[in-house]
Structure formats: structure tokens, C-alpha cells
Amino acid sequence: MNYSDKVIINEVGPRDGLQNEQTFISTEDKVTWINQLSHSGLKYIEITSFVNPNWIPALADAEEVAKKIERVPGVLYAALVPNRQGLERALKANIDEAAIFMSASETHNQKNINKSIDETFSILNKVAKESISAGKSVRGYLSTVFGCPYEGNIRVEEVVKVAEKLFEMGIRELSLGDTIGVSNPTQVQKVLEVLLKRFPSDQLAMHFHDTRGTAMANVLASMNMGITKFDASLGGLGGCPYAPGASGNLATDDLLYMLNGMEVETGIDYKRIISSAQFIQEKMKRPLPSHSLQACH
């Protein structure tokens, strides 16, 4: 295998993890937890979401969280932003980066955002432009890249088309999501072969879900293609929104364990990551899906 000796892990647990959980974590506990993460060596933390609080009550305290956390120099504090109203709130709370999102699947986009792909482009374009003119960078999330719960397989040409539009808006990085955790290493290789002809590898991040146990294999396939950026969620927090009880996000602690063993540098302290995974597991009052956490008992 051929892979870079450095990898960047983007921590999405405080947003993507918590938004798919039923348990409400108090603002104080969220702040304590994010502060722990800030001192673990992570350089990117997605701290919350500025979508309408009625949609995601678990993150209704977005402003408070953003204002109360310690801002450690060198760490980028991002938040999910769906539209201009969300951006206005996010800017007031002084986030560093706006993460915009849409789907490569027309049906999934319609069900998730209530808009067609074309309508979403014009909304996100305004968010991206306003964010950049306010001095904040923008990251893009593209979901259902490897399969859609409604449409099944997504043609890679569709992925390229939406990705091009997002890069035209000025995003600095695009996160490619296996939203329902259906991909496998061969598919990952085939999709990346096409995408890497069009976009530089350092502008792409992979967002794998471990719903069927393939996330880590997909990480390795991506690394072998030259990808060096991965989204992960502490403890594997955040179930699959389409299958209650199933695993969602790849666990940061498992990914870090593997990369450490492979002597791939991340700059992240494994012990600190495990102890903050234990902290949030206690608050969730249930065992989290991470293998590393279970092995620590």
C-alpha cells in the first residue's frame, strides 16, 4: 500500500454525532467536551449546527456553545450552516468556518433540505459568498455520494457536477459522504479515480459511515488513492438516521488507533481522545459504537 505519512482528522462529533442522538447533552457538558477536544491535538472541530432549532433540538443551544467554548489557537471551529438566516446567527457567534451541505441525489436533497438541487445551489451560493466576504472560510458536504436510500446508486457524473458547483462557490474543501454506509473499497477506488482527475486530493475529505462495518476499509482504500483528510466522530457518536440503532459515523478513536499503529502522523493524543470519548459516553448513558472504547473497559 502507498499512503501519506500525515493525515488530518476532522472531528464532527459535537455536530454530526449529537444531531443524530436522542439524548440532550447540556450546554455546559458540550462546552466541557469541546474544550477537551481542543486540547487533544485536533485541528478541526465542527462544534454545532445553525439549522433551525426546531429541526434539530439537540443543537438548539448553538449560539451559547459557540460563545462559551475556549478558542485554542490553531484549532478551526466550524459549524453547519443551511441558509442565510443560519449564517447570520453563525457569524454573530463568531464561528471560523461555515459548513454548507447538499446531496448528490435529487430525491435525498428534496427530502433532507426540501429543495431541488438547482434551488439549493442558489441558496448555498449566497451563503458561501457572504461567509467569504465576512472573512470566514467555507467547507462543503456532499451526501449520498456512494448511494442513496431512495435512488440507490448515484452516478459519479452527478457527483462531479454538484462538486464542481460547490467549488465554484469558493469552498476550500469538499467532504464526500457515504451517508448510509453502503460503500466498499472497490467502489471508493472507482469514484475517487474519476474525482481525482478533476479535483486535487488535498481539497477532498472522506466522510464514511460504519453502518455495515466497511468504514475503515474504505479509509484505507482512500489513503491508497492519495486522500489525507477524514471526518470522524468521537466514540462513533451519531447513529444512522435511516436505521434506528445502527452505527453511523466512523469513530475518531478507532481511526486514530489504526493510524498510530501505521505510523501515520496526526498530531492527536490518543489518551486524551479516549478520555474525552469516555466523558461523552458517560453523558450519553449508553455504550458508544467505538471498538477502542469497548477495548478500554
As annotated, the active-site residues are: 240
Which residue, 99 or 192, has its beta carbon nearer to Mg ion?
A: 99
Q: Look up cell 482527475; give the residue.
A: 197
Helix (H) or strand (E) holding 234: none
Owner of C-alpha cell 436510500: 149
List the one residue from 109, 131, 183, 249 that touches Mg ion (CB under 5 A).
249
Nearer residue to Mg ion within complex by CB, 48 or 249 = 249
One-letter amino acid identity for 30?
A: K
Measure the CA–CA gap between 124 and 158, rounded to whole angstroms: 18
CB-wise, 165 or 207, nearer to Mg ion?
A: 207
What element of type H or E holds 30? Answer: helix 27-38
Beta-ladder partners of 251: 233
Diameter over CA atoms, the chain: 49
Q: Which residue number, 86 or 248, has a Cβ lying nearer to Mg ion?
A: 248
Q: Which of 3, 7, 14, 16 binds Mg ion (CB under 5 A)?
A: 16
Site residue total, Mg ion (CB under 5 A)? 2
CB of 178 to Mg ion, least distance (A): 9
By CB under 5 A, tell whether 19 contacts Mg ion: no
Cα separation, 239 vs 247, in Å, equals 5
Stretch that binds Mg ion, among 68-76, 87-95, 167-175, 249-257 (CB under 5 A): 249-257
Cell matching residue 9: 482528522
Per CB under 5 A, the segment of 8-16, 74-82, 87-95, 276-284 that binds Mg ion is 8-16
What residues make contact with Mg ion under the rule CB under 5 A? Answer: 16, 249
